[in-house]
Amino acid sequence: MAAEDLEWERSKISNQDLNMMKKLGLMKKEDAIRFPSEESYPNPPMEYRVSFVDHLIRGLSAPIHDFLRGLLFVYGIQLHQLTPNSILHISIFITLCECFLGIPPNWALWKRIFLLRRNASRNATYNIGGVVICVRTDVDYFDVKFPDSVQKKWLYIHEESANSVEHNIIPFDGNAKIQRRRSWDAEASEEEKKATEALMSRIRQLQNTRGKELSGVQITAYFLRIRVQPLQARKNPLWTYAGVNDANRLSSDLSAKDLEKLIRRISRLNKKDHVPSSCRVEPYSSTNPLPEPLIKDLLRIGTQFVGYREYASKAEEKLAEANERANTLAQQLEQSEKARKKAESDAVGARAEADKAKADAAGVEDLRKRLHDAETSLSEHITAQSAREEAILKRLRTQSRRFVARTAQEFQLEEPANDPLLDALSFLEVHGSEAREGIDQAKAGLSRLFPYFFPKKEEPATFLDLAKSFNSSEDLGLKMRQENMKVAVESTVALVADSQQTIDWMKVGDTNQIEQSRWRSLIKAAKPNMKKILVYLGIKPSSTPSSSRPEV
């Protein structure tokens, strides 16, 4: 995207700006101004052009003055490409010509004072305010102090079409690039300088007459005070200004406060600087008419100006010829450049091909030599290898014959029928088959019996795992003794109950609670009848009563 496209943004016109334009009478005519809504890029309606609030308060109104139309045509620029300070330069110049020189704005005089320059920085080329009107360095002109800042408060102004092309303002194009022209530096011819010398003398007189010095701020304050926009097409020139009843006035007089505020806004005057309330030199008007001889002389000078239309036509023709010659030269240069590049490319290619051919020739000779050496070496190697292979084959044949003879001698059986080695092998083969059958049968029986005895275990894969299944982690002897102890305890309780003794069961571990002689007699009497007593108590007697003896 070009740098110009990045400059436009949504217009931010404040209520203060609206009030100021109403006081200036710029919105008095219906549809003279239209304001954008929320668009960030201008899209003016038919017969509308893009302008700025800063342009309007510096003397611009529609329909636009013919002199400004001519400047836009000759310079080849659009209205939005002029800075606000450039607009103010044109307003002061027209006011100077009509009010203090008594002539229409003169193109020859303009060329003696001003020129056009591009407004750009090192990093960007501007479109909004992309050109600026400058005073020539060798000209002593009014020292007008302008502010540096420019506010992008844009709007649409209604502009009627003119009958001639040079008086028309081209439609808005925000993307159009600014093209520098020769007219930007156009200078007055010798004839024009001679015709305008009296005007330049009058300007110097207005600037330097002691006590009656005229300044750019005074001229600005004058056209703001009389409420006539210098850059608007008017019925009568300003030297015929008729006061409050003048047909060109847009509004009534501004208050002193509003006038001072507006002048400070478009100039660099600060609060301490004095704002002039009037000009030290009385401008021409209906109450101060032009002297009769001066009118004739100035009108004659004005008519000597050929006009910007003729100049523009000649400039356009010369520019077209120059552009045509430039295009032709550019084409020829482009063709010459292409031919030069092709010749350089061909030369480089030819040198590369020559170098490659030399390298290839040297490489072929070297390759031929190496190939001959390789063939010689390969032939010698094949001969030696064939001799070695023949010797190895001969040795292998001899060893093979010796091995076959020795094998037949060592392993030949004299009596195969009575040989013990063959009998042992036959016996081993027979019993090996029986052993395999026995093992298969044992595995089949184990697969049936193991789940019966060990329902929750996986069938072991080896005999060692089977033995571990029978080797329980529990102490079976301890378990048996605990069962016998249970039987003994229950039997003892039965005997104590039968003895009809008073026993403190909380202290049953204390054997002193029972009479020893009585206890022994009971045990001695009960022992022969132990089995009957256990049956009586509902306990199955053990097959080995001796095992319970230690517990009892």
> What does the DSSP 8-state code read for residue 98?
I
SS3 of 378-389: HHHHHHHHHHHH
Q: Does residue 417 fall inside a structural domain? A: no
Torsion of CA 533, 536, 537, 542, to 10 degrees: 60
Task: Return the bridge partners of 52, or none.
Answer: 154
- Domain identity same for 18 and 113: yes
- What confidence category does residue 205 fall into, taking pLDDT thresholds of 50, 70 and 90? very high
Burial grade of 150 (CB within 10 A; 0-12, 13-18, 19 or more): middle
Cβ proximity of 203 and 139 under 8 Å: no
> Of the spans 3-7, 158-162, 237-241, which averages the highest pLDDT?
237-241
> What domain count does the chain have?
4
- Domain identity same for 261 and 360: no
pLDDT in tens, 60-97: 998 899 899 999 999 999 998 899 999 999 999 999 99
Q: Does residue 448 fall inside a structural domain? A: yes
Question: Distance (Å, rounded) from C-alpha 126 to C-alpha 89?
Answer: 20
Q: Does residue 467 fall inside a structural domain? A: yes
Choose the final residue of a domain: 448, 471, 494: 471
Q: Does residue 312 fall inside a structural domain? A: no
- Domain identity same for 377 and 286: no
Q: Does residue 209 fall inside a structural domain? A: yes
Q: What are the distances in angstroms from CA 426 to CA 170, 373, 436?
A: 125, 69, 16
Question: Distance (Å, rounded) from C-alpha 454 to C-alpha 449?
Answer: 9
Task: Return the bridge partners of 135, or none.
Answer: 114
- Domain identity same for 124 and 241: yes
Q: Does residue 320 fall inside a structural domain? A: no
Structural domain that includes position 347: 330-403
- Domain identity same for 67 and 197: yes
Q: Does residue 408 fall inside a structural domain? A: no
Spell out the alpha helix ranges (H) of 124-276.
190-208, 216-225, 256-266
Is the confidence at residue 371, as pLDDT, over 80? no
- Domain identity same for 456 and 497: no
- Domain identity same for 215 and 348: no
Provide the token pair at 338. 């292409």
Q: Does residue 173 fall inside a structural domain? A: yes
Choose the final residue of a domain: 290, 306, 322: 306
Provide the token pair at 528. 């022969």
Average pLDDT score over the chain: 78
- What is the per-residue pLDDT for 2? 43
- Domain identity same for 231 and 283: yes
- What confidence category does residue 302 fall into, taking pLDDT thresholds of 50, 70 and 90? very low
- Domain identity same for 105 and 231: yes
Task: Return the bridge partners of 516, or none.
Answer: none
Report the 10 Å Cβ neighbour count for 254.
18
- Domain identity same for 47 and 125: yes
Choose the final residue of a domain: 447, 471, 495: 471
- Domain identity same for 457 and 538: no
Report the 10 Å Cβ neighbour count for 104.
18
pTM for this predicted structure: 0.55
Cβ proximity of 223 and 95 under 8 Å: yes
- Domain identity same for 31 and 89: yes
